[in-house]
Chain A
């Protein structure tokens, strides 16, 4: 169950230009957070200013990347692109942040038939790393398929390697791994029947391509979708995702019904 927690910044490091790993002391979330769940951070209220900043107006959503229940720590990995994430990048050790979480349903680790393909790119990689670690710790076979624009845009690969999850890479420009998109490296393994379940997290065009591919192979797949989120708690109905089906359109909330949906369940 989601709750509000004051997270204290333990460390903040740049991993590649513009991308940060933020380590927070947040014991509650560290104990209950599961792969595919996320937190929302009030980037306008670092150290709870007497007046909250009205701008940026919303919290920012970030997937759980690592949790350490013993140390009571939670890591997120994010790209500082817009005004809210750039403010977050200014947070320094000792700063206090209001963290809401863990939110969302997460990936169905228990139901997934192995071997599991972890497919993603960009800021979709952190939740897949978390899932990969859990699978590795349980001895469940998994393999990561990570796509990116070029070699210098890739991150998280070492994390998979470190926990013993093999990882294959594609880049648009061929500067690392196979030249092409992530479905190009996934397809041969699906054809070879080396995958029984797909977990995917990444930009929407990538998720659509994965959706197309898994439907050809009739494989169960779970996609973590992105949507603009205001409340993260099912109150505003702003994060609607179209559900598949004929007739009157129907919608689900990405924040409470998702962010992970069965591939055939949603229209992206």
Chain B
């Protein structure tokens, strides 16, 4: 294996030794024994959606397997930001890698308060603390419309959050943004340092014998290889219209999948639901990237970012 390949990338001011991350909500808090491998080998750890107060989550069943993927309606079960800061960040600090906390809320005020509390805790993570705003949540104040479906709402949220933190700010886009380019530009202009995409797609499954939806939450978010081509297309589209780095995700299970996202313009990639069947997928992807760079005769993975994009100006 060529060991002189440089996999390091910089995203939103965070220095990542390689571009492979776990996707929020699929890896717990990253320090649990269930991870089954040395988590410090990852580029960074991304933790679950964190809200102001603890949330119990949705009634079961919360997940169901679908063709080449799955649906989830976890309902943001989490212990709340104060517990994340007190209990999880100190354990994450020991890993020595950057930590990205995914932030969710129902109102602008809730996002702002969560971010404010995380900002105060930044010193706990010397390798760098970043924030990923999950804007796929329904905004209670705006009548339940998702922040992520309306560029003006998203930009307003970003502005309010940006005002209370200087931490690296990543905005996570929903695949349901009616116009991904407009959305991407809006959050970039409002101060986002990076954009991650995609979150899950709304889907549902029906139990034909009970004649009822399978999930307790009725609909859920579709993830896994089933959504990968759609996610690659969104990254490819957005990469041509924004300057901030992108973190690509959606169905990544192998190093080949990761390479597709990088060539489409992603500076880093996240592995989500594929981790469930294959806990070691992130390590296999890191090894595969090294081999691929060697085979492609590039000394740094950075040379591959966006390499499949049409040349600017042509």
Annotate A228-246 by CB proximity to B: 1 below 8 A, 0 otherwise: 1011111111111110000
Q: How far is A240 from B67 in the complex, measured between Cα atoms in Å?
A: 22
B144 at the interface (CB under 8 A from A): no
B interface size (C-beta, 8 A) = 39
Q: Is the CB of A236 within 8 A of B32?
A: no
Annotate A1-27 by CB proximity to B: 1 below 8 A, 0 otherwise: 111100000000000000000000000
Known contacts being A233-B36, A234-B28, A248-B56, is A4 close to B280, with CB within 8 Å? yes
B63 contact from A1, A228, A256, Cβ within 8 A: A228
Q: Is the CB of B224 within 8 A of A56?
A: no
Q: Is the CB of A235 within 8 A of B27?
A: yes
B33 at the interface (CB under 8 A from A): yes
Q: How far is A55 from B226 in the complex, measured between Cα atoms in Å?
A: 10
A217 at the interface (CB under 8 A from B): no
Q: Is the CB of A3 within 8 A of B36?
A: yes
Which residues of the partner chain B approach A228 to less than 8 Å between Cβ atoms?
61-65
**Overall SS of chain A's interface:** loop
* Interchain nearest-CB distance for B250 vs A (Å): 13
A251 at the interface (CB under 8 A from B): yes
With both beta carbons as reference points, the residue of chain B lying nearest to A234 in the complex is identified as B34
Q: Is the CB of B28 within 8 A of A235?
A: yes
Which residues of the partner chain B approach A51 to less than 8 Å between Cβ atoms?
254
Q: Is the CB of A58 within 8 A of B225?
A: no
Q: Is the CB of A58 within 8 A of B65?
A: yes
* Interchain nearest-CB distance for A255 vs B (Å): 9
Which residues of the partner chain A approach B32 to less than 8 Å between Cβ atoms?
233-235
A54 at the interface (CB under 8 A from B): yes
* Interchain nearest-CB distance for A116 vs B (Å): 29
Q: Is the CB of A242 within 8 A of B276?
A: no
Which residues of the partner chain B approach A1 to less than 8 Å between Cβ atoms?
33
Known contacts being A233-B32, A235-B27, A240-B62, is A251 close to B254, with CB within 8 Å? no
Q: Is the CB of B26 within 8 A of A235?
A: yes
Q: Is the CB of A57 within 8 A of B59?
A: no
Q: How far is A42 from B68 in the complex, measured between Cα atoms in Å?
A: 14
Q: How far is A228 from B254 in the complex, measured between Cα atoms in Å?
A: 24
With both beta carbons as reference points, the residue of chain A lying nearest to B69 in the complex is identified as A57
B25 at the interface (CB under 8 A from A): yes
With both beta carbons as reference points, the residue of chain B lying nearest to A41 in the complex is identified as B277
Q: How far is A248 from B54 in the complex, measured between Cα atoms in Å?
A: 11
Q: Is the CB of A236 within 8 A of B277?
A: no
Q: Is the CB of A233 within 8 A of B253?
A: no
A127 at the interface (CB under 8 A from B): no
With both beta carbons as reference points, the residue of chain A lying nearest to B28 in the complex is identified as A235
B279 at the interface (CB under 8 A from A): yes
B275 at the interface (CB under 8 A from A): yes
A59 at the interface (CB under 8 A from B): yes
List residues of B whose CB falls within 8 A of some A CB.
25-28, 32-36, 56-70, 72, 74, 77, 224-226, 253-254, 273, 275-280
Interchain residue pairs with CB less than 8 A apart (6): A228-B63, A235-B275, A237-B62, A238-B63, A239-B62, A240-B59
Given contacts A52-B254, A100-B279, A235-B27, could you give 8 more A-B pairs where the C-beta distance is less than 8 Å? A4-B279, A228-B65, A231-B26, A233-B32, A235-B35, A235-B275, A241-B60, A248-B56
